[in-house]
Amino acid sequence: MELIMQVFPAFLLVLCRITSFFVVAPIFSSRTVPTLIKIGLAFFISVIVFLTVGFDSKIAVDATYILAIIREVFAGLLIGYVSYIFFSIVQVSGGFMDMQMGFGIANIVDPITGVSAPMLGNFKFMLIILVFFSVNGHHYLIGAIMDSYKWLPLDNNLFQVYYGGHITEFLTRTFANTFLLALQISAPIVVAMFLTDFGLALLARTAPQYNVFVIGIPVKILVGLALLVLLLPGFGVLFQTIFDGMFHALEKLFIILKSSS
């Protein structure tokens, strides 16, 4: 019992970081994954990580221990958020496409995230999950949170890193890069829809007898779907680029945390 009380504080810190990571990490935070599986997976990974790094850390249970728990929760949420923000690229780009094609009014509830999502964004999100599993990306994510203790040990000074502003600058730049990538992904269909609108506007001026408001919506949907079918084979390479950017961002985040601490 005395040995358990000596190692339990360090194990609790490990469990807080791993659990908070699974709360926001892509795939693992999905509503379709049972809560019992999430808890069990977080517990067993915490045990594995603790057997590696926990016994070497001497954690004092005093007034600062509560701050240490909050610090570890922030660390797990930060790592999980950086990985999840790259998965939101496909939903943002799908929103741009739906808005131009006329699907924006038919947003549906995504069963994976539980929030309203665009139709094309939901379709591409399911595709990116399949590609992510096919390249064993979930293994790399678990490896990333386990390797985070090499860069950010239990006795870290994460609050000082936050105060320095490096994390805020990194998150702002990462968000801007992901938003730009979402615009680039949706650019072909958005430009095609703009040209279609321009052609319909010319048709309305040259042949007023055609009701553009009636024929415009189905024409835009047909053009958008035809272009989507042409672009679909290139989504595999596109998703691989997103995954590379995600793991590069996680590596950069760990470097910032290591250099600042």
Tokens 């690229």, residue located = 89
Structure tokens at 261: 């601490």
pLDDT at residue 139 greater than cutoff 70: yes
CA–CA distance from 226 to each of 50, 128, 192, 259 (Å)? 52, 20, 11, 49
Pairwise CA distance, residues 244 & 261, whole Å: 26
Structure tokens at 177: 């890069």
Q: Residue 135 half-sphere exposure, CB side, CA atoms within 13 Å?
A: 16
pLDDT at residue 146 greater than cutoff 80: yes
Give the domain ranges of the chain.
2-260
Pairwise CA distance, residues 75 & 68, whole Å: 10
Task: Please name the residues in contact with 128: beta carbons below 8 A apart, sequence gap of 6 or more.
Answer: 87, 90, 239, 242
Strand partners, 117: 108
- 0.85 surpassed by pTM: no
**What per-residue confidence (pLDDT) applies to 140?**
86
pLDDT tens, residue by residue, 48-78: 888 877 656 667 777 788 888 888 888 888 8
pLDDT tens, residue by residue, 160-197: 777 777 888 888 899 998 988 888 888 888 888 888 88
Pairwise CA distance, residues 82 & 77, whole Å: 9
Q: Which regions of the chain does DSSP assign to beta strands (E)?
A: 108-109, 116-117
Contact 131, 36 (CB under 8 A): no
pLDDT tens, residue by residue, 73-131: 888 888 888 888 888 888 888 878 877 777 666 566 655 556 566 677 777 778 888 88
* Arithmetic mean of pLDDT over the chain: 81
